[in-house]
């Protein structure tokens, strides 16, 4: 049966869905095998569930405002929470990153990475307990600590209060990267990262080079 036209720009194309379907289908099959499947029998199309999640991601709307031509928002959020808990999004990110690297003539798994952090202002409805002040940049809000490969593709991310130092976030990132990407032996970082990050990297077998 031909698929109906994409009603929203965020909807998956057939080519993109072809890439994601095996991972999501395998997740559902495993849930069924353990008696943990959502909906008995599954009544919601996985592609439309992913379309709904992408719609929320692209528009930034609250889950409760999800358009009615998607599954009920509670169902969509249930899948989102389950996929997050079961690290399905990490699997998909890894799959797509490896495909891009191969297309660029690189090895599928990286051997080097780049660390950075950015403080950002948050909206008024963000809980105060999860915020802080970046004294150096005079920003009240949160900080995102990010590790990427040399193509700029995401390897690890940590969100903290803006008051958390680059060093503390960098140590956490390096631990995650060392565990998830054993081929990585080199990391570049800016001058916000100092001795503690370099020493921690050395213990993990990663040479951290601070550069402007």
Pairing of strands 112-121, 186-189: parallel
Q: What is the pLDDT of residues 9-41, one digit of tens each?
A: 999 999 999 999 999 999 999 988 877 665 555
Q: What is the pLDDT of residues 61-95, one digit of tens each?
A: 999 999 999 999 999 999 999 999 999 999 999 99
Can you tell me the distance from the alpha carbon of 144 to that of 149, in angstroms, rounded to the nearest whole number?
16
Distance set, CA 147 to CA 100, 137, 164 (Å): 17, 21, 16
Stated as kind and residue range, the H or E segment containing 147 is strand 139-148
Domains belonging to the chain, first-starting first, are 14-86 (no CATH), 108-210 (3.30.420.10)
Q: Cβ contacts of residue 99 below 8 Å, gap of 6+? A: 19
SS3 161: strand
The burial class, CB within 10 Å (0-12 / 13-18 / 19+), for 95 is middle
At 33, phi and psi to the nearest 5? -60, -30
Can you tell me the distance from the alpha carbon of 109 to that of 127, in angstroms, rounded to the nearest whole number?
37
List the beta bridge partners of residue 142: 120, 161
53 band by pLDDT with thresholds 50, 70 and 90: very high
SS3 33: helix
120 band by pLDDT with thresholds 50, 70 and 90: confident
- Across 151-177, average pLDDT: 93
What pLDDT shows up at residue 137? 78
DSSP 95-106: HHHHHHHHHTT-
pLDDT at 3 over 80: no
At 116, phi and psi to the nearest 5? -160, 165
- Across 122-137, average pLDDT: 76
What spatial distance separates the first Cα and last Cα of the chain, rounded to whole Å? 56
Q: What is the pLDDT of residues 91-115, one digit of tens each?
A: 999 999 999 999 999 999 999 999 9
Q: How many CA atoms lie within 13 A of 133 on its CB side?
A: 2
């Amino acid at each position: 049966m031909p698929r109906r036209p994409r009603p929203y720009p965020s909807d998956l194309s057939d080519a993109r869905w072809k890439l994601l379907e095996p991972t999501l289908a395998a997740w559902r099959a495993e849930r069924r095998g353990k008696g943990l499947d959502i909906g008995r029998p599954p009544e919601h199309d996985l592609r439309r569930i992913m379309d709904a999640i992408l719609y929320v991601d692209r528009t930034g709307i609250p889950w409760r405002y999800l358009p009615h031509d998607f599954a009920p928002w509670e169902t969509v959020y249930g899948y989102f929470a389950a996929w997050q808990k079961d690290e399905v999004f990490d699997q998909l990110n890894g799959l797509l990153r490896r495909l891009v690297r191969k297309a660029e003539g690189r090895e599928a798994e990286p051997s080097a990475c780049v660390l950075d952090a950015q403080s950002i202002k948050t909206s008024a409805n963000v809980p105060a307990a999860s915020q802080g002040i970046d004294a150096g940049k005079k920003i009240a809000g949160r900080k995102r600590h990010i590790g990427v490969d040399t193509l700029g593709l995401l390897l690890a991310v940590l969100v903290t209060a803006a008051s958390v130092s680059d060093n503390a976030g960098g140590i956490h990132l390096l631990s995650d990267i060392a565990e998830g990407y054993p081929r990585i032996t080199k990391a570049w970082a800016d001058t916000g990262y100092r001795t503690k990050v370099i020493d921690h990297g050395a213990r993990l077998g990663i040479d951290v080079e601070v550069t402007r």
